[in-house]
Structure 1
């Protein structure tokens, strides 16, 4: 019965290291990836990165009604949720291929 030869194991470890490096670069890129979530026809805009860190919020004055704060809260939540949904898609697209580390599972 043939086992792992030294060369095969070294090659496997090199591939695993390369995949880890690619995954790290991709994860760092997600910090810089701008996601824009909107609601109320872009009257509320939320800026975040693909890791769901909110970097800014813009409100059109048409949605700022001091007598209806609850509506503004709902619009902000809707814009954040829109951004989160978009961030999830970007994350899955960019990081999904590393889900099980190319079949290496718990070896790393």
Structure 2
């Protein structure tokens, strides 16, 4: 492999990393639990951006704080899974555009 091909590969890898970081910051996923009593929104970095708890959530849980905590946890975890799915789809699309065979050829 000559140096120009290696430099081209490195440049593409750097570009892909920059795209991925931007995608992580701009991707958002939202999930609910308890029939919509709790809603969580996260970004691609799985940082919690918003947590909404319906005022009826405590009454619906019968005042059971542990149940409410479980609903919150479930909503956050599901939003994280959705963010992962979105990022995986975006990553496979980005890699599909990089012709490794041509560069290594």
1:93 correspondence with 2:89: yes
TM-score by length of 1: 0.73
- Secondary structure at 2:75 match in 1: helix
Instruction: Show CA shifts across 1:43-67 (max 9, x none).
Output: 2100110110001100111212473
Aligned-residue CA RMSD in angstroms? 2.3
- Gapped runs of 5+ residues in structure 2? 101-105
- Tell me the SS of whatever aligns to 1:42: coil
Name the larger-Rg structure: 1
Cross-structure match for 1:76? 72
Indicate if the aligned counterparts of 2:27 and 2:83 stay in contact, CA closer than 8 A: no
1:102 positional shift: 7.8
Q: Does residue 53 of the first structure (1) align with residue 44 of the second (2)?
A: no
Q: Would the alpha carbon gap of residues 29 and 73 (structure 1) be closer, same or farther in structure 2, given more than 3 Å must change? A: same
With normalisation by structure 2, the TM-score equals 0.75
What CA distance in whole angstroms lies between the structure 1 residues aligned with 2:81 and 2:99? 25
Gaps of 5+ in 1: 104-108
Assess if the C-alpha contact under 8 Å between 1:23 and 1:95 holds in 2: no
Partner of 1:39: 33
Aligned residues: 95
